[in-house]
Amino acid sequence: MVKLINFKWQQLILSLGCLLLIIACQSLYPTTDPDAKPLKVATDPTFVPFEFQTADGKLEGFDIDLMNALASPAAGLTLSLSKGIAKVAGFAVQFESLPFDGTISTLQAKRVDAAISGITITAERLKTIAFSRPYFKAGLAIAVREDNQNIQDFNSLKGKKIAVQIGSTGADFAKTIPNAKISTFNSGPEFFQDLLNGNVDAVISDAFATLYAIKNGKLKGIRVVADFLTQEYYGIAMPKDSPHLDAINKGIATLLSNGTYKQIYQKWFKVEPPQLPDS
């Protein structure tokens, strides 16, 4: 009898010990909330360094890090930071590749919960979809071949052949250039190739992506003549009346105040991030 009681006590202590160990492990290595519903997030991985695919097919980039930091405590950020974020928003991100041009209609049809793809918040887009608070300060740039001397600014683009990405803010901007002959492309790599081939005189696209590609040797023979022609802000896009808007906005605020945003910004751009407006 005594032996039996002893055995039960031993069992109880052992079970409690195991329980404590499990709790300790969970707080040291937090995982995404098991009850969390997957959040389907569309992205067009042709926009270095915001979203792109590595040789082995892995999605990487500033936007990918930001989205993972917003959603997952085990997103590769330091544990102390991740734990804080987990409380703000608990969901598992499921990325889906989607051509940039199809993003808005896909969101309108609610086929995905959100999209992160260097998407500029514009009044026109706000008519049909919702955006989070701004998470990135951006702007457009004019890129030309290195040997081109006659395009220096917006005015020298008049009547020129210009390549842009379909459905982008660069495409909208190009429409305002008098007599410009505009060619549209599906993604960045394609329109830069057209510029290098001599089919067009200039490309109008997002300054950060263009400057990054030039700096990292991914765009040889191309230079930027005017950058930040416009002031734009990227936002996480969602269907109108999205139930996730609040959590995502709160998550961005947390990442901005706890240093995670700065950490991700410096990882990709090696400089201090600029101030962002609240809305």
**In angstroms, what is the minimal distance from the CB of 112 to ligand GLN?**
15
CA 131 to chain CA mean position, Å: 13
Q: Which one, 36 or 59, has the nearer CB to ligand GLN? A: 59
196's tokens: 């290098």
Q: Which one, 39 or 209, has the nearer CB to ligand GLN? A: 209
**In angstroms, what is the minimal distance from the CB of 151 to ligand GLN?**
21
| DSSP secondary structure letters along 96-165 | EE--GGGHHHHHHTTSSSEE-SSPBP-HHHHTTEEE-S--EEE-EEEEEETT--S--SSGGGTT-EEEEE
**In angstroms, what is the minimal distance from the CB of 31 to ligand GLN?**
31
**In angstroms, what is the minimal distance from the CB of 28 to ligand GLN?**
37
Q: Which one, 156 or 186, has the nearer CB to ligand GLN? A: 186
Q: Which one, 102 or 273, has the nearer CB to ligand GLN? A: 102
Q: Which one, 91 or 234, has the nearer CB to ligand GLN? A: 234
Burial class (CB in 10 A: 0-12, 13-18, 19+), 163: buried
CA 193 to chain CA mean position, Å: 24
Q: Which one, 45 or 73, has the nearer CB to ligand GLN? A: 45
Identify the three-state secondary structure at position 52. strand
- In contact, 206 and 119? CB cutoff 8 Å: no
**In angstroms, what is the minimal distance from the CB of 162 to ligand GLN?**
15
Write out the residues near ligand GLN by the rule CB under 6 A.
44, 47, 100, 117-120, 165, 168-169, 206
Q: Residue 143 is inside which H or E element, if any?
A: strand 140-145
Cα dihedral 48, 220, 205, 198 sign: negative
From CA 13, how far away is CA 82, in angstroms rounded? 32
**In angstroms, what is the minimal distance from the CB of 213 to ligand GLN?**
12
From CA 110, how far away is CA 264, in angstroms rounded? 29
